[in-house]
Chain A
Amino acid sequence: MIRSDVLRDIAPVIRDHLVVCNIGLPSQELHLLDDQPTNFYMLGTMGLSSSIGLGLALAQNKKVISIDGDGSVLTNFGTLPTIANNVADNYILLIIDNGSYGSTGDQPTYAGKKTSLTAVAKACGCETVIECQASETKDVLEKALASNKMTIIVCKCESGNIKVPVITMDPVVIRDRFMKAVQA
């Protein structure tokens, strides 16, 4: 399974929750598969999906799922200690780890080589860290949502992309629609 297969699988699970989605293809794929007002699409700013999601989870009570990638977590490595030390039990960080920078041509990341993001997250102090295979992601995510515990999920999947159009929605429209969904 590649990332878009994982997103297709989990779409029915994340639809009812606030989702902050990573820059580039992940946002474009989610937008194509299941556009929802509860989705915040990042159009730029690589690395900050986990930070935006954590800030959102700390500011209000609804459940928040940050969809991130291994490359983006590597870009903003400082996020993991911040998450570990500011526990929000309404927060799930889903790292779709395909071992590559998918949006830029599938160049390999260090997470696909010697570096284990699961081990790093644990070493940073994150208490509930689950590594799973792509096909298990939906089940693991459902259980994490039901547990009401802050959870980091590292989903190991294959590298690869589908053809998707860019998101042309204005960023202020994305933000306004999302904030209305947060308040609803």
Chain B
Amino acid sequence: MSIHTKIVDDLVANDISFVTTVPCKQLAGVIDEIEARPEIYHIPSNKEDEGMGLCAGAFMGGKRPAIIMQNTAIGVTINTLATLTQFYRMPLPMLISYRGELREPVACQVEMAVHTKALLAQLNIPTYHFHRESDANELDAILKYTFMCNKPVAILTDASFWGGYGDQ
């Protein structure tokens, strides 16, 4: 089973049926898999804070949401995370490509990578870091934890987890 299939199987098994995405090269396989699943309504967003608004609405409508985005989005969404998702106590699993880590070819990505964990810690957002493929075995438990505690939860997935960037 591919890692993309495993991740989306875990989303479906946890009754996540509304997923918004802002693309990243590393997340392309997961996004394709989400688009292919009839159990999931896939709604691409133009910006990640918009996506968090969509997820808040879907949650209040009775669906379990998730957002898939790059770590650069943490810079975009701090206000939304604090004043919507956290203030109203809503659950939100955030599957995040952690750009700017080992094997990163684009220098600018490092500039947000160095702030990513500090910002998540400042926001008191529970944060998990997938570095090896076997780390994804915890995804099911992380999703259950998210909907138990009604908080946004970050899952950072770095280049090593995805097997590098291919030919550069």
In the assembled complex, A179 has its CB within 8 A of some CB on chain B: yes
- Interface-located stretch among A79-87, A101-109, A111-119, A142-150: A79-87
A52 to B84, CA, bound (A): 10
In the assembled complex, A76 has its CB within 8 A of some CB on chain B: yes
Say whether B84 contacts A76, CB under 8 Å. no
Say whether B47 contacts A78, CB under 8 Å. yes
In the assembled complex, B6 has its CB within 8 A of some CB on chain A: no
What residue of chain A has the Cβ atom nearest to residue B57's Cβ? Answer: A55
Say whether A47 contacts B83, CB under 8 Å. no
A114 to B10, CA, bound (A): 49
Say whether A48 contacts B60, CB under 8 Å. no
- Interface-located stretch among B24-32, B38-46, B94-102, B110-118: B38-46
What residue of chain A has the Cβ atom nearest to residue B89's Cβ? Answer: A172
Say whether A55 contacts B55, CB under 8 Å. yes
Also in contact, A59 and B80, with CB within 8 A (given A47-B49, A78-B47, A182-B62):
no
Say whether A82 contacts B56, CB under 8 Å. no
User: Which residues of chain A (75-100) have a CB below 8 Å from chain B?
Assistant: 76, 78-79, 81-82, 86
Say whether A175 contacts B88, CB under 8 Å. yes
A6–chain B nearest beta-carbon distance, Å? 23
A81 to B46, CA, bound (A): 8
Residues of A within 8 A of B56 (CB): 48, 51-52, 55
Residue total for B at the interface (Cβ-Cβ under 8 A):
32
Give a binary string over A140-184; 1 marks a CB under 8 Å from any B CB, 0 the rest.
000000000000000000000000000000011011001100110
Say whether A55 contacts B61, CB under 8 Å. yes
Residue picked from B44, B46, B61, B83, most chain A C-beta under 10 Å: B61
Give a binary string over B107-135; 1 marks a CB under 8 Å from any A CB, 0 the rest.
00000000000000000000000000000
B86–chain A nearest beta-carbon distance, Å? 9
Say whether B88 contacts A58, CB under 8 Å. no
Residues of B within 8 A of A60 (CB): 61-63
A59 to B42, CA, bound (A): 12
In the assembled complex, A21 has its CB within 8 A of some CB on chain B: no
In the assembled complex, B18 has its CB within 8 A of some CB on chain A: yes
User: Which residues of chain B (74-94) have a CB below 8 Å from chain A?
Assistant: 79-80, 82-84, 87-90
- Interface-located stretch among A7-15, A25-33, A37-45: A37-45
Say whether B45 contacts A55, CB under 8 Å. no
8 Å CB contact of A48 from B18, B53, B61, B82:
B53
A58–chain B nearest beta-carbon distance, Å? 6
CB-defined A-B contacts under 8 Å, sample of 9: A45-B83, A48-B80, A55-B54, A55-B56, A55-B57, A56-B61, A59-B60, A82-B43, A82-B46
Closest CB pairs A-B (n = 6):
A55-B57, A59-B61, A51-B53, A78-B46, A44-B83, A48-B53
**A residues apposed to B, CB below 8 Å:** 20, 40, 42-45, 47-60, 76, 78-79, 81-82, 86, 171-172, 174-175, 178-179, 182-183
